[in-house]
Amino acid sequence: MTGWDPVGAVDAGWDEYDAYLDGIVNLVRSPANPERAASKLADHLDHIGRDYMGTLSDRQRHKNRWIAEAIVRWHEWTLDRGRIGSTA
């Protein structure tokens, strides 16, 4: 999750954003279509940046959209090919 680093903390500690993972994972796993899931996830990342970290610039908002789309595409790809760790 090094692509999403709104406060520049990734070099200081890999666990800096662990508290936000449950919400992110729940949105990715929601039954919404991929476009809706990406939009909801990007909105959630914006919310975290704005309301918890105070760092939501236009550049970060654009990056959040890109990251959300990439995460949802990855999730869809893993579903198409079977769950991670499966032997199928």
- The verdict on pTM exceeding 0.85 is no
Query: Do the domain assignments include residue 5?
Result: no
16's CB contacts (< 8 A; 6+ apart) are 7, 9, 10
**Residue reference for tokens 């954003």:** 17
Query: Do the domain assignments include residue 23?
Result: no
| Residue range 9-49, pLDDT digits in tens | 666 666 777 888 888 888 888 767 888 999 999 999 999 99
Instruction: Report the pLDDT averaged over residues 46-69.
Output: 92
At 20 the pLDDT is 84
What is the tally of structural domains in the chain? Answer: 1
29, with CB counted inside 10 A (0-12, 13-18, 19+), is exposed
Question: Over 90: is that where the pLDDT of 67 sits?
Answer: yes
* 79: enclosing H helix or E strand: helix 58-80
Query: Do the domain assignments include residue 13?
Result: no
Spatial distance between the Cα atoms of 33 and 30, rounded to a whole number of angstroms: 9
Query: Do the domain assignments include residue 53?
Result: yes
**Which residue range is the domain that position 46 belongs to?**
28-80
